[in-house]
């Protein structure tokens, strides 16, 4: 048996490069009504289209995609990525999708986000990571805030969904904020361990 590739590893999940076997997960997720709701996807996608989409993503130097895998079972559960990476301004846009709703609200998305943010600042030398999230998706907004993202502004009526235009938050975290947050976390952890 081949040992799974664990490019970045956390407590609950690890991130690895996308593999051909992940096409089924993405195909399932992008056609699942619950997932489509959160990602604002409006058209069906074929397996061949998924394959073409992934090939486009992974061959571009502006994108960096990973599969999120549940650590205890080695089951792929979603995708995360930096897209539109700007290597001059040291900025990227963050993407996350847990494609199987059975894995929602278990902390997997939060941990994957923390792993990506740390990778982005420590390894890729990014200065800014930003994302867009629907104002109504308060579960995601809270998870991103836990990871240090702040709301910078509102993209008013940015997308059309269910016969209405929806607002999106622009959220970001800066390198300096990330390192300051980590220093504070270590101090708190040290005080707890000392008691």
DSSP assignment string, 107-147? SHHHHHHHHHHHHHHHTS--SEEEEEEETT-HHHHHHHHHT
- pLDDT at site 95: 96
The pTM of the full predicted model, rounded to 2 decimals, is 0.88
**CATH architecture for the domain at 8-194:** 3-Layer(aba) Sandwich (3.40)
Measure the CA–CA gap between 23 and 27, rounded to whole angstroms.
6
- pLDDT at site 109: 94
Q: Low-confidence residues of the chain, pLDDT below 70?
A: 1, 183-195
**% of the chain at pLDDT higher than 70:** 92
Q: Over the stretch 142-187, which tens digit does the pLDDT of each residue have?
A: 999 999 999 999 999 999 988 999 999 999 999 999 999 876 565 4
What are the structural domain ranges in the chain?
Answer: 8-194
Exposed / middle / buried, residue 158 (Cβ in 10 Å: 0-12, 13-18, 19+): middle
């Amino acid at each position: 048996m081949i040992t799974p590739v664990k490019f970045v590893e956390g407590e609950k999940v690890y991130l690895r490069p996308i593999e051909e076997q992940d096409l089924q997960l993405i195909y399932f997720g992008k056609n699942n009504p619950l997932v489509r709701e959160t990602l604002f996807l409006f058209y069906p996608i074929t397996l061949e289209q998924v394959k073409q989409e992934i090939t486009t993503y992974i061959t571009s130097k502006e994108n960096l995609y990973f599969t999120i895998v549940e650590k205890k079972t080695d089951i792929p559960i979603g995708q995360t990525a930096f897209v539109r990476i700007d290597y001059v301004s040291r900025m990227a846009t963050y993407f996350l999708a847990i494609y199987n709703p059975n894995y929602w609200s278990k902390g997997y998305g939060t941990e994957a986000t923390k792993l990506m943010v740390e990778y982005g600042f420590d390894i890729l030398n990014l200065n800014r990571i930003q994302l867009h999230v629907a104002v109504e998706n308060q579960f995601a907004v809270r998870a991103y805030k836990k990871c240090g993202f702040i709301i910078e502004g509102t993209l008013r009526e940015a997308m059309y969904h269910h016969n209405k235009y929806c607002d999106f938050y622009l959220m970001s975290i800066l390198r300096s904020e990330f390192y300051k947050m980590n220093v504070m976390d270590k101090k708190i952890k040290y005080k707890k361990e000392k008691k």
